Amino acid sequence: MKRRVGYTTGVFDMFHVGHLNILKRAKENCDYLIVGVSTDELVEKYKNKTPIVSYEERREILEAIKYVDEVVPQESRDKYSAYKQYGFDVMFVGDDWRGNGLFLEVEKRFKEVGVEVVYFPYTKGTSSTVLREKLEKIK
């Protein structure tokens, strides 16, 4: 029986329970989970901010999590290119991305090659952005 390979990506800055929830749910829905961690350069390019935790440390954190089988650098937001490189069967995404132009295109292209896109509920009340805002208020 063919193993089901899953893929998800993120910045994973200031790792929190929302990140853990996505990884746990993803692993429950595949046999082998590949996690793409956004490089510092990619984050600076599309979010116009530098991650608080460096790529190397974020990668190390993800490698230590029992739900994660493999960690790879995400150097581009091109999910189809990642599919061609890693050959996954399903991609897991937080539902805060549902309806986003990037993912509407991803869904369309993945449907053509038989890759499923699964959205998980966003963990309300926690995000790296919320944590950043709280830290700013403490200053």
Each residue's pLDDT tens digit, 21-39: 999 999 999 999 999 999 9
Q: Is 27 a known active-site residue?
A: no
Active-site position among 2, 24, 45, 49:
49
Greater confidence (135 vs 16) lies with 16
Taking the model in full, what pTM does it have? Answer: 0.88
Structure confidence at residue 103 (pLDDT): 85
47 is catalytic: yes
Residue 85 has pLDDT above 70, yes or no: yes
If we measure between CA atoms, which residue out of 28, 16, 20 comes closest to residue 127? 16
Q: Which entry of 45, 47, 84, 108 is annotated as an active-site residue?
A: 47
Pick from 105, 120, 110, 104: nearest CA to 89 = 110
What pairing do the DSSP bridges indicate for beta strands 5-10 and 32-38? parallel
Q: What is the pLDDT of residues 46-63, one digit of tens each?
A: 888 889 999 999 999 999
